[in-house]
Structure 1
Amino acid sequence: MAEPKIFAHAGEGAWKATPDGNRRRVLLHTDELMMVEFGFDKGGFGALHSHPHVQASYVAEGRFEVTIGGRTEIIAAGGSFIVPSNLVHGVKALEAGRLVDSFTPHRADFLA
Protein backbone atom coordinates (compact mmCIF):
# COMPACT_ATOMS: atom_id res chain seq x y z
CA MET A 1 0.00 0.00 0.00
CA ALA A 2 1.25 3.46 -0.86
CA GLU A 3 2.04 5.90 1.95
CA PRO A 4 -1.18 7.71 3.02
CA LYS A 5 -1.57 11.25 1.63
CA ILE A 6 -3.57 13.41 4.01
CA PHE A 7 -3.04 16.95 2.65
CA ALA A 8 -3.55 18.24 -0.89
CA HIS A 9 -3.15 21.70 -2.39
CA ALA A 10 -4.84 23.08 -5.51
CA GLY A 11 -3.20 21.86 -8.69
CA GLU A 12 -1.10 19.16 -7.02
CA GLY A 13 -0.77 15.75 -8.56
CA ALA A 14 -0.34 14.63 -12.13
CA TRP A 15 -3.35 13.93 -14.31
CA LYS A 16 -3.44 10.37 -15.69
CA ALA A 17 -5.42 9.32 -18.74
CA THR A 18 -8.27 6.91 -18.00
CA PRO A 19 -9.14 3.97 -20.30
CA ASP A 20 -12.32 5.79 -21.42
CA GLY A 21 -10.47 8.91 -22.60
CA ASN A 22 -10.89 11.16 -19.58
CA ARG A 23 -8.34 12.06 -16.89
CA ARG A 24 -8.00 11.60 -13.15
CA ARG A 25 -5.71 12.49 -10.30
CA VAL A 26 -5.68 11.02 -6.83
CA LEU A 27 -5.96 13.89 -4.34
CA LEU A 28 -5.85 12.12 -0.96
CA HIS A 29 -5.95 8.59 0.35
CA THR A 30 -5.74 6.36 3.39
CA ASP A 31 -6.60 2.66 3.58
CA GLU A 32 -10.21 3.56 4.43
CA LEU A 33 -10.92 6.52 2.13
CA MET A 34 -9.75 8.05 -1.14
CA MET A 35 -10.57 11.33 -2.93
CA VAL A 36 -10.03 11.52 -6.70
CA GLU A 37 -10.64 14.35 -9.20
CA PHE A 38 -11.86 13.41 -12.69
CA GLY A 39 -11.81 15.74 -15.69
CA PHE A 40 -14.12 15.34 -18.69
CA ASP A 41 -14.35 17.06 -22.05
CA LYS A 42 -17.82 17.77 -23.41
CA GLY A 43 -19.33 14.44 -24.51
CA GLY A 44 -16.84 12.43 -22.44
CA PHE A 45 -18.26 9.50 -20.55
CA GLY A 46 -17.53 7.07 -17.78
CA ALA A 47 -18.84 3.77 -19.15
CA LEU A 48 -21.32 1.76 -17.09
CA HIS A 49 -19.42 -0.28 -14.51
CA SER A 50 -19.56 -1.43 -10.89
CA HIS A 51 -17.09 -1.91 -8.05
CA PRO A 52 -17.28 -2.98 -4.39
CA HIS A 53 -16.35 0.51 -3.15
CA VAL A 54 -19.02 2.96 -1.99
CA GLN A 55 -18.61 6.14 -4.05
CA ALA A 56 -19.73 9.69 -3.23
CA SER A 57 -19.35 12.23 -6.04
CA TYR A 58 -19.47 16.04 -6.11
CA VAL A 59 -19.89 17.92 -9.39
CA ALA A 60 -17.24 20.63 -9.12
CA GLU A 61 -17.81 21.98 -12.62
CA GLY A 62 -20.13 21.28 -15.57
CA ARG A 63 -23.27 19.18 -16.03
CA PHE A 64 -23.43 15.40 -16.13
CA GLU A 65 -26.02 12.81 -17.07
CA VAL A 66 -25.61 10.31 -14.22
CA THR A 67 -27.01 6.78 -14.33
CA ILE A 68 -27.08 4.68 -11.14
CA GLY A 69 -28.86 1.33 -10.99
CA GLY A 70 -30.88 2.10 -14.13
CA ARG A 71 -32.05 5.53 -12.92
CA THR A 72 -30.76 8.63 -14.77
CA GLU A 73 -30.68 12.27 -13.66
CA ILE A 74 -28.91 15.44 -14.80
CA ILE A 75 -26.61 16.74 -12.03
CA ALA A 76 -25.02 20.21 -12.38
CA ALA A 77 -22.16 21.98 -10.59
CA GLY A 78 -22.76 21.98 -6.85
CA GLY A 79 -24.80 18.77 -6.97
CA SER A 80 -23.75 15.33 -5.78
CA PHE A 81 -24.64 11.66 -5.80
CA ILE A 82 -23.80 8.40 -4.01
CA VAL A 83 -23.21 5.03 -5.64
CA PRO A 84 -23.80 2.09 -3.25
CA SER A 85 -21.43 -0.87 -3.38
CA ASN A 86 -21.64 -3.01 -6.56
CA LEU A 87 -24.38 -0.91 -8.23
CA VAL A 88 -23.92 -0.35 -11.98
CA HIS A 89 -23.30 3.32 -12.74
CA GLY A 90 -21.83 5.70 -15.33
CA VAL A 91 -21.75 9.34 -16.41
CA LYS A 92 -21.82 11.45 -19.57
CA ALA A 93 -20.46 15.02 -19.59
CA LEU A 94 -23.07 17.31 -21.15
CA GLU A 95 -20.39 20.01 -21.07
CA ALA A 96 -16.74 20.05 -20.01
CA GLY A 97 -16.57 19.38 -16.27
CA ARG A 98 -14.96 17.89 -13.21
CA LEU A 99 -16.13 15.38 -10.61
CA VAL A 100 -14.57 14.92 -7.18
CA ASP A 101 -15.17 11.33 -6.09
CA SER A 102 -14.61 9.75 -2.70
CA PHE A 103 -14.26 5.98 -2.40
CA THR A 104 -14.39 3.76 0.65
CA PRO A 105 -12.31 1.73 1.00
CA HIS A 106 -9.59 3.28 -1.19
CA ARG A 107 -9.18 2.21 -4.83
CA ALA A 108 -5.89 0.30 -4.80
CA ASP A 109 -6.08 0.08 -8.62
CA PHE A 110 -5.77 3.89 -8.81
CA LEU A 111 -2.48 3.79 -6.87
CA ALA A 112 -0.83 1.08 -8.98
Structure 2
Amino acid sequence: MHKLWCLRGISTLTAFALAVEIGNWERFTGASIGAYLGLVPSEHSSGHSRRQGAITKAGNSHVRRLLVEAAWHHKPRYVVGKVLQARWDQAPQTARTRAHDRAPRGGGL
Protein backbone atom coordinates (compact mmCIF):
# COMPACT_ATOMS: atom_id res chain seq x y z
CA MET A 1 0.00 0.00 0.00
CA HIS A 2 2.92 2.37 0.69
CA LYS A 3 4.00 1.99 -2.93
CA LEU A 4 0.60 3.20 -4.15
CA TRP A 5 0.71 6.18 -1.79
CA CYS A 6 3.71 7.56 -3.65
CA LEU A 7 1.63 8.19 -6.75
CA ARG A 8 -0.08 11.53 -7.09
CA GLY A 9 -3.84 11.30 -6.88
CA ILE A 10 -3.79 8.16 -4.72
CA SER A 11 -4.97 8.78 -1.16
CA THR A 12 -4.94 6.34 1.75
CA LEU A 13 -8.47 5.13 1.09
CA THR A 14 -7.87 4.77 -2.65
CA ALA A 15 -4.62 2.86 -2.08
CA PHE A 16 -6.34 0.53 0.37
CA ALA A 17 -9.29 -0.08 -1.99
CA LEU A 18 -6.95 -0.78 -4.94
CA ALA A 19 -4.88 -3.18 -2.85
CA VAL A 20 -8.00 -5.05 -1.72
CA GLU A 21 -9.67 -5.17 -5.15
CA ILE A 22 -6.58 -6.10 -7.19
CA GLY A 23 -5.00 -8.42 -4.64
CA ASN A 24 -1.88 -9.86 -6.27
CA TRP A 25 -0.49 -7.19 -8.62
CA GLU A 26 2.12 -9.60 -9.98
CA ARG A 27 -0.50 -11.50 -11.96
CA PHE A 28 -0.89 -8.51 -14.31
CA THR A 29 1.30 -6.95 -16.96
CA GLY A 30 0.94 -3.43 -18.28
CA ALA A 31 -1.33 -4.72 -21.05
CA SER A 32 -3.42 -7.23 -19.11
CA ILE A 33 -4.52 -4.93 -16.28
CA GLY A 34 -6.30 -2.67 -18.77
CA ALA A 35 -8.32 -5.62 -20.04
CA TYR A 36 -9.10 -6.73 -16.48
CA LEU A 37 -10.51 -3.31 -15.71
CA GLY A 38 -12.43 -2.92 -18.96
CA LEU A 39 -10.21 -0.10 -20.22
CA VAL A 40 -9.53 -1.56 -23.65
CA PRO A 41 -11.43 -0.50 -26.77
CA SER A 42 -14.20 -2.65 -28.15
CA GLU A 43 -13.53 -4.05 -31.59
CA HIS A 44 -15.68 -5.04 -34.55
CA SER A 45 -13.68 -7.01 -37.11
CA SER A 46 -14.62 -8.79 -40.28
CA GLY A 47 -12.12 -9.94 -42.83
CA HIS A 48 -9.67 -7.12 -43.42
CA SER A 49 -11.77 -4.39 -41.80
CA ARG A 50 -11.20 -3.50 -38.18
CA ARG A 51 -13.16 -0.88 -36.23
CA GLN A 52 -12.45 0.05 -32.64
CA GLY A 53 -15.11 1.59 -30.46
CA ALA A 54 -15.47 2.89 -26.92
CA ILE A 55 -13.92 1.10 -23.93
CA THR A 56 -15.59 -2.18 -23.08
CA LYS A 57 -16.33 -1.44 -19.39
CA ALA A 58 -16.51 -5.21 -18.93
CA GLY A 59 -14.10 -5.38 -16.00
CA ASN A 60 -14.01 -4.31 -12.38
CA SER A 61 -16.07 -1.10 -12.29
CA HIS A 62 -15.02 -0.13 -8.76
CA VAL A 63 -11.30 -0.14 -9.55
CA ARG A 64 -11.94 1.58 -12.88
CA ARG A 65 -13.80 4.40 -11.06
CA LEU A 66 -11.00 4.71 -8.48
CA LEU A 67 -8.38 5.06 -11.20
CA VAL A 68 -10.42 7.65 -13.10
CA GLU A 69 -10.86 9.73 -9.94
CA ALA A 70 -7.14 9.41 -9.16
CA ALA A 71 -6.34 10.63 -12.68
CA TRP A 72 -8.49 13.72 -12.11
CA HIS A 73 -6.62 14.44 -8.87
CA HIS A 74 -3.32 13.93 -10.68
CA LYS A 75 -4.15 16.62 -13.24
CA PRO A 76 -3.15 19.81 -11.32
CA ARG A 77 0.41 21.16 -11.37
CA TYR A 78 3.01 18.80 -9.88
CA VAL A 79 4.16 20.09 -6.49
CA VAL A 80 5.54 17.90 -3.76
CA GLY A 81 3.65 19.03 -0.68
CA LYS A 82 3.90 17.94 2.94
CA VAL A 83 1.45 15.07 2.53
CA LEU A 84 3.12 13.58 -0.55
CA GLN A 85 6.60 14.02 0.98
CA ALA A 86 5.45 12.22 4.15
CA ARG A 87 4.13 9.35 2.04
CA TRP A 88 7.41 9.18 0.12
CA ASP A 89 9.30 8.99 3.42
CA GLN A 90 7.33 5.85 4.39
CA ALA A 91 7.73 4.05 1.06
CA PRO A 92 10.67 2.04 -0.27
CA GLN A 93 13.27 3.96 -2.30
CA THR A 94 12.36 2.12 -5.52
CA ALA A 95 8.71 3.17 -5.22
CA ARG A 96 9.66 6.80 -4.54
CA THR A 97 11.97 6.92 -7.53
CA ARG A 98 9.40 5.37 -9.85
CA ALA A 99 6.62 7.68 -8.65
CA HIS A 100 8.82 10.73 -9.19
CA ASP A 101 9.97 9.54 -12.62
CA ARG A 102 6.35 9.06 -13.76
CA ALA A 103 5.29 12.54 -12.66
CA PRO A 104 5.37 15.56 -14.99
CA ARG A 105 8.39 17.78 -14.59
CA GLY A 106 8.33 20.91 -12.50
CA GLY A 107 8.63 19.50 -8.99
CA GLY A 108 11.40 17.78 -7.14
CA LEU A 109 12.18 15.28 -4.45
The answer to whether the superposition gives a TM-score over 0.5 is: no
**Whose radius of gyration is greater, 1 or 2?**
2
Give the structure with the larger strand fraction: 1
Higher relative contact order (CA 8 A, sep 6+): 2
